[in-house]
Amino acid sequence: LDRSTREIELGLEYGLPTMNLAGQSLKFENGQWVAESGSFTGDRREMQRLRKRNQQLEEENNLLRLKVDILLDMLSETTAESHLMEKELEELKSHSRRRK
């Protein structure tokens, strides 16, 4: 819409987009939907519990990623050692065949 149509349709100051979702009022600021202050109707203890649980799960996830990385390193090392041993075994076999 051009400026004059916007002024007629929406007024001079039409503000930030807002919505009401499950009893919580949200507004769109700086590219993100944020809750308007005081609009949260849930239990604050439940919110704190969920935040704490989320943090615990993130820490557990980080630990599990570290363990997977360590296991992959161990697997790579074992595979490399196995290939070296197979190569040495083949060389010993070929060397003993030449002696006969």
Predicted confidence at residue 12, as pLDDT, reads 65
pLDDT tens digits, one per residue of 10-41: 766 666 778 887 777 888 888 887 877 655 55
User: pTM for the complete prediction?
Assistant: 0.51
Q: Give the CA angle between residues 17, 31, 2 to the nearest 5°.
A: 55
Q: Where are the domains of the chain?
A: 1-37, 40-99
* Cα separation, 52 vs 63, whole angstroms: 17
* Cα separation, 73 vs 62, whole angstroms: 17
pLDDT band at 85 (very low <50, low <70, confident <90, very high): very high
Let me know: does 18 contact 8? Beta carbons within 8 Å.
no
In the predicted model, what is the mean pLDDT of residues 55-65? 97
